Amino acid sequence: MKMRYPKLRELREAFKSIFTKPATTRYPFGEPKIHSRYRGKPEFQDECLGCEACREVCPPGAIEVVDDIKNKKRTVLRYLDRCITCGECERICTCGNGIKMVPEFALAVYDRKDLVESVERELIICENCGRPIATRKHILWLIDQLEEKGAAHLGFIIMKLQELGIVEDIETKVSLDKRQDLFTILCPKCRHRIMLYDSL
């Protein structure tokens, strides 16, 4: 049986490939070329308000919110092993800059616990019933958005004055039958009870 000689075309391609650049990228031995619009993993930013908007729209449930009433802390957890990088959290973000999709895709780890990222915010609690209202950062952002209209909410005024250091944070007993209770930090339900009692 005669051995077939390679075709000249194949020999030409073989020699050509020796002196030309490879067709594939050098990754992982070199830096990958990432497109500017590439959606990588979501990453919390300092502007995050802890408002839960991203948790509400996350299709795979990769974002969880845990409220610690005793220590007045809200923790927003993001599970990267569940994330499908759809970008809904970035799109729906209340302040627009709280969470960003960064061009990072190499997320391989040996332990799934390493894929959990979190951010903590101070939680504001109703002074009467103890229910969580919102994070301090969220309310202060809301006051800035409302500008002069925010003066209609007495609790907002007190919180802004506390932030500026003009008034002290004094614990008061709320009875829900006096108009002065409107100057405390209350949830909508307790505030409604005061307004209802005051109108009688």
Domains and their CATH numbers in the chain = 36-124 (3.30.70.3270), 126-200 (no CATH)
Return the higher-pLDDT residue of 165 and 167. 165
- Phi/psi of residue 60, nearest 5 degrees: -85, 0
Q: Are 89 and 99 in contact (CB under 8 A)?
A: yes
| CA–CA dist 167, 185 (Å, integer) | 14
pLDDT at 3 over 90: no
* pLDDT (average), residues 35-53: 90
- Does this model's pTM top 0.85? My answer is no
pLDDT at 198 over 60: yes
